[in-house]
Amino acid sequence: MKSLEELQAIRDKARQNLNMRGDNHDNIRVVVGMATCGIAAGARPVLNAFVEAVSKRNLKNVSVTQTGCIGVCQYEPVVEIYSPEGEKVTYVKMTADKVAKIVTEHIVNGRVVEEYTIGAYTK
């Protein structure tokens, strides 16, 4: 069973990592649309896949957050990825399967996965 003592040990270990990390100016933000439309269309498995991938690969400069309705409900689940410079890429009709490719290609290697973007769907 997991215990609160275990959490203390995790804290002590994480503190050491934090000290080495320093400031996070190069943060990439993954924003998942989690309004009624997004959730009904299956945003939760997508969100979980991102959280899992980011945590598994230990990507310290990536944050995963939720937002309300992005406004293109017909393309839900929608995920927006913001570069540290604030540029946005919108991925639509997301599934958990697409997440691995986006994490590897876009987040880690900096290459946008064009085929999944809103641009590719609205053509």
- Can you tell me the distance from the alpha carbon of 32 to that of 50, in angstroms, rounded to the nearest whole number? 9
User: At closest approach, how far in Å is the CB of 6 from other proteins?
Assistant: 7
User: At closest approach, how far in Å is the CB of 21 from other proteins?
Assistant: 10
Which residue, 37 or 89, has its beta carbon nearer to other proteins?
37
91 φ, ψ to 5°? -100, 135
69-98 footprint of other proteins as x/- string (CB under 8 A): xxx-x-------------------------
Burial profile 30-62: b = 16 or more Cβ within 10 angstroms, e = fewer? bbbbbbebbbebebeebbebbeebbeeeebeeb
Q: Which two tokens stand for residue 46?
A: 């997508």
Q: Is the peptide bond before 84 cis (omega within 30 degrees of 0)?
A: no
Which residue, 19 or 109, has its beta carbon nearer to other proteins?
19
Note the Cα 4 to chain centre separation in Å: 28
Which residue, 44 or 93, has its beta carbon nearer to other proteins?
44
Q: Which amino acid is at 2?
A: K
Q: Which residues within the stretch 36-55 sit at the binding site for other proteins (CB under 8 A)?
A: 36, 39-40, 44, 47-48, 51, 54-55
- Contacts with other proteins by CB under 8 A lie at 1-2, 4, 6-8, 10-11, 13-15, 18, 34-36, 39-40, 44, 47-48, 51, 54-56, 58, 63-66, 68-71, 73
